[in-house]
Amino acid sequence: MNLSTDSDCAALENPPEAIGPVAEGIGANFYSKGGEITGPKLQGRCRPIDGDWLTIHTNGVAILDVHTTLESHDGAPIATAYSGMADMGPDDYQRFLEGKLPARLNALTIQLW
Protein backbone atom coordinates (compact mmCIF):
# COMPACT_ATOMS: atom_id res chain seq x y z
CA MET A 1 0.00 0.00 0.00
CA ASN A 2 1.68 3.20 -1.14
CA LEU A 3 0.03 6.22 0.42
CA SER A 4 2.71 8.69 -0.48
CA THR A 5 4.72 9.08 -3.64
CA ASP A 6 7.47 11.29 -2.30
CA SER A 7 7.31 11.62 1.50
CA ASP A 8 6.24 9.90 4.69
CA CYS A 9 2.61 10.21 5.70
CA ALA A 10 3.26 11.89 9.02
CA ALA A 11 6.08 13.46 10.95
CA LEU A 12 6.66 12.19 14.47
CA GLU A 13 6.80 14.22 17.64
CA ASN A 14 10.12 14.14 19.44
CA PRO A 15 11.08 12.74 21.81
CA PRO A 16 9.13 9.49 22.06
CA GLU A 17 7.63 8.43 25.34
CA ALA A 18 9.99 5.80 26.76
CA ILE A 19 8.05 3.08 28.55
CA GLY A 20 11.22 1.49 29.85
CA PRO A 21 12.64 -2.00 29.93
CA VAL A 22 10.31 -4.83 28.97
CA ALA A 23 11.07 -8.55 28.65
CA GLU A 24 11.96 -8.22 24.95
CA GLY A 25 14.03 -5.02 25.15
CA ILE A 26 12.70 -1.49 25.62
CA GLY A 27 9.23 -0.13 24.88
CA ALA A 28 8.45 3.31 23.48
CA ASN A 29 5.44 5.23 22.22
CA PHE A 30 5.67 7.67 19.33
CA TYR A 31 3.11 10.35 18.52
CA SER A 32 2.35 11.84 15.14
CA LYS A 33 2.13 15.52 14.22
CA GLY A 34 -0.03 14.54 11.25
CA GLY A 35 0.80 15.06 7.62
CA GLU A 36 -0.36 15.00 4.03
CA ILE A 37 -1.15 11.97 1.86
CA THR A 38 -0.20 12.46 -1.78
CA GLY A 39 -0.67 9.13 -3.49
CA PRO A 40 -2.05 8.18 -6.90
CA LYS A 41 -5.23 6.65 -5.40
CA LEU A 42 -5.66 8.63 -2.18
CA GLN A 43 -5.34 12.31 -1.37
CA GLY A 44 -5.85 13.66 2.13
CA ARG A 45 -4.06 13.76 5.44
CA CYS A 46 -2.93 11.72 8.42
CA ARG A 47 -4.69 12.99 11.50
CA PRO A 48 -2.47 13.76 14.50
CA ILE A 49 -4.31 11.04 16.42
CA ASP A 50 -2.50 7.74 16.56
CA GLY A 51 -0.69 5.14 18.54
CA ASP A 52 2.73 4.04 17.38
CA TRP A 53 4.08 1.43 19.77
CA LEU A 54 7.63 0.23 19.33
CA THR A 55 9.57 -2.52 21.08
CA ILE A 56 13.30 -2.37 20.43
CA HIS A 57 15.22 -5.60 20.94
CA THR A 58 18.83 -5.50 22.12
CA ASN A 59 19.99 -6.56 18.62
CA GLY A 60 18.45 -3.41 17.10
CA VAL A 61 15.38 -5.07 15.55
CA ALA A 62 12.24 -3.09 16.35
CA ILE A 63 8.69 -4.47 16.41
CA LEU A 64 6.09 -1.94 15.22
CA ASP A 65 2.40 -1.76 16.16
CA VAL A 66 0.77 1.26 14.55
CA HIS A 67 -2.83 2.50 14.61
CA THR A 68 -3.74 5.78 12.94
CA THR A 69 -6.62 7.58 11.28
CA LEU A 70 -6.37 8.96 7.78
CA GLU A 71 -8.80 11.45 6.29
CA SER A 72 -9.54 11.45 2.56
CA HIS A 73 -9.73 14.68 0.57
CA ASP A 74 -13.54 14.64 0.95
CA GLY A 75 -13.43 14.22 4.76
CA ALA A 76 -14.01 10.47 5.07
CA PRO A 77 -12.15 8.95 8.05
CA ILE A 78 -10.12 5.81 7.35
CA ALA A 79 -8.95 3.70 10.30
CA THR A 80 -5.66 1.95 9.62
CA ALA A 81 -3.53 -0.50 11.56
CA TYR A 82 -0.32 -2.26 10.68
CA SER A 83 2.51 -4.08 12.34
CA GLY A 84 5.97 -4.97 11.21
CA MET A 85 9.65 -5.15 11.89
CA ALA A 86 12.36 -2.58 11.31
CA ASP A 87 16.14 -2.78 11.49
CA MET A 88 17.51 0.03 13.63
CA GLY A 89 21.07 -1.27 13.38
CA PRO A 90 23.22 -3.16 15.88
CA ASP A 91 24.15 -0.10 17.96
CA ASP A 92 20.78 1.65 17.97
CA TYR A 93 19.37 -0.09 21.04
CA GLN A 94 22.04 1.62 23.14
CA ARG A 95 21.73 4.84 21.12
CA PHE A 96 17.99 4.87 21.81
CA LEU A 97 18.66 4.53 25.55
CA GLU A 98 20.95 7.58 25.22
CA GLY A 99 18.17 9.57 23.51
CA LYS A 100 19.74 9.42 20.04
CA LEU A 101 17.02 8.44 17.57
CA PRO A 102 17.57 7.31 13.99
CA ALA A 103 16.28 9.67 11.30
CA ARG A 104 14.09 6.87 9.92
CA LEU A 105 13.45 3.16 10.31
CA ASN A 106 14.26 0.69 7.55
CA ALA A 107 11.21 -1.55 7.42
CA LEU A 108 11.89 -5.26 7.01
CA THR A 109 8.24 -6.37 6.89
CA ILE A 110 4.90 -4.64 7.18
CA GLN A 111 1.57 -6.41 7.75
CA LEU A 112 -1.54 -4.33 6.97
CA TRP A 113 -4.70 -5.30 8.85
In a domain, 113, yes or no: no
* Residue 1, domain member (yes or no): yes
Closest CA to 105 of 33, 55, 67: 55
Instruction: Give the Cα separation of 109 and 84 in Å (integer).
Output: 5
For residue 106, is it within any domain?
no
pLDDT tens string 73-110: 999 999 989 899 988 888 888 888 887 777 666 667 67
Residue 33 belongs to a domain with what CATH number?
2.40.160.20
pLDDT confidence of residue 63: 92
Q: What is the pTM of this model?
A: 0.71
Alpha-carbon distances, residue 99 vs 28, 65, 85, 88, 108 (angstroms): 12, 21, 21, 14, 23
Is 41 part of any domain? yes
pLDDT tens per residue across span 31-84: 888 889 888 989 999 888 788 888 999 988 999 898 889 999 999 999 989 899
Asked if residue 36 belongs to a domain, the reply is: yes
